[in-house]
Amino acid sequence: MGGPAGLEAARVAATKGHEVTLFEKQNYLGGQLNIASVPPRKIEIRRSIEDLTQACIQAGVQIQQGREADTDSILSLSPDTVIVATGANSFMPPIVGIDDSGVCDAWKVLAGEQKVTGRVVIIGGGIVGCETAEYLAEQGCQVAIVEMSEEVGAGIGITVLPSVLETYRRYGVTQHPGLKVTRIEPNHFQEAQEQEAQKSQQSSHEINIVCKDQQSNIVPFVADFAVIASGARPQIFDSSDLLAQGIEVIEVGDCVKVADISHAIKTAYDAANSI
Ligand SMILES: Cc1cc2nc3c(=O)[nH]c(=O)nc-3n(C[C@H](O)[C@H](O)[C@H](O)COP(=O)(O)OP(=O)(O)OC[C@H]3O[C@@H](n4cnc5c(N)ncnc54)[C@H](O)[C@@H]3O)c2cc1C
């Protein structure tokens, strides 16, 4: 699997003289690094995809892009060891109304798969939510961040935080900690206007993002889009058939614990060195 953990594990194992095949289900390598590199100041992350890929090629790794690893494809290679580095997927929380057409996923927005404009409420003020807010503010969106805990941007390094806050100040990004989103619904008042707009060929769809504060007061936001940035969950790979056949299986990176690039690289390096 060709995220940073899979690429690093493949590089180290091949450098040690093992015959290594890397499966990547997408037609491109890099995993989450492809979206991690999109927000402001982060373009350099792209270079690490190129560096890791080149190092794998030089070490003789057989890279199979556009090929999903499953039990059959793995067993066809008769491996001694399988390093699983399936990474993580974004998490969509079970909020009423999350299926509304105005609700997007921050990962898909950063990947350019979903387009948002106008007034945007980011649901989740962790690192990904805060970086998506910066990215969208620079694209001309009017952005508000809603965060359940007491702090927006917890986990952003103190050297980076001033730049983030400066971007927020420049573009008027507002921060709303201590609010839990309870439901998302179409703005019914707006619906009548939408019908009129459709008659005149304009499209518009307003949504209400209904939150509760810590005293259970209702705090509503009206927006054109809500963008979910509520964290990630490991992508589980079922290794039971491989283990039953006596094949060694080692899991590395975000599929073990959603963390960061250094965790992905370190767990991959250690795993490849251990075989
Ligand atoms: C928006 C965003 C910003 C981030 N910014 C930072 C940052 O600034 N600093 C930092 O340290 N970390 C950052 N991270 C986290 C970091 O990108 C991840 O921790 C890291 O990419 C995890 O690496 P991984 O290889 O374990 O998983 P991934 O990067 O998720 O890679 C897994 C790969 O496996 C492939 N795959 C999955 N299943 C299969 C299968 N069955 N067959 C074949 N291929 C498969 C996937 O397509 C993917 O390419 C960010 C993450 C996001 C989403």
Cα-flanking dihedrals φ and ψ of residue 104, to 5°? Answer: -120, 170
DSSP class per residue in the chain = --SHHHHHHHHHHHHTT---EEEESSSSS-TTHHHHTSSTT-THHHHHHHHHHHHHHHHT-EEEET----HHHHHTT--SEEEE---EEE-----BTTTSTTEEEHHHHHTTSS---SEEEEE--SHHHHHHHHHHHHTT-EEEEEESSS-TTTT--TTTHHHHHHHHHHHT-EEEET-EEEEEEE-HHHHHHHHHHHHTT-----EEEEEE-TT--EEEEEESEEEE---EEE-----HHHHHTT-EEEE-GGGTS---HHHHHHHHHHHHHH-
pLDDT at residue 200, as a whole number: 58
Task: Identify the CATH number of the domain defined by range 103-228.
Answer: 3.50.50.60
88-90 vs 81-84, strand pairing mode: unpaired
Q: What is the CATH number of domain 4-90+232-274?
A: 3.40.50.720
Q: How far, in Å, from the CA of 242 to the mean position of ligand 1? A: 23
Q: Which residues line ligand 1 (CB under 6 A)?
A: 1-6, 23-26, 31-33, 35-36, 68-69, 85-88, 107, 110, 128, 235, 253-254, 259-262, 264
Q: How confident is the model at residue 201, as a pLDDT?
A: 56
Predicted local distance difference test score (pLDDT) of residue 198: 64
For residue 121, how many C-alpha atoms fall within 13 Å in the half-sphere facing its CB? 25
Angle CA 198–199–201, to nearest 5 = 60
Beta bridge partners of 177: 147
The residue ranges of the chain whose pLDDT is under 50 are none
Q: Which of 11, 52, 74, 261 to mutate to test the pocket of ligand 1 (most atoms within 8 A of CB)?
A: 261
The reply to whether domains 4-90+232-274 and 103-228 share a CATH topology is: no
Please tell me the distance from the alpha carbon of residue 188 to that of residue 222, in angstroms, as a whole number. Answer: 11
Q: How is the chain split into domains, by residue range?
A: 4-90+232-274, 103-228
Q: Using most ligand atoms within 8 A of CB, pick from 260, 266, 270 the residue to mutate for ligand 1.
A: 260
Give the largest CA-CA distance in the chain.
68
Q: Which of 27, 65, 71, 86 to mutate to test the pocket of ligand 1 (most atoms within 8 A of CB)?
A: 86
Measure the CA–CA gap between 160 and 164, rounded to whole angstroms: 7
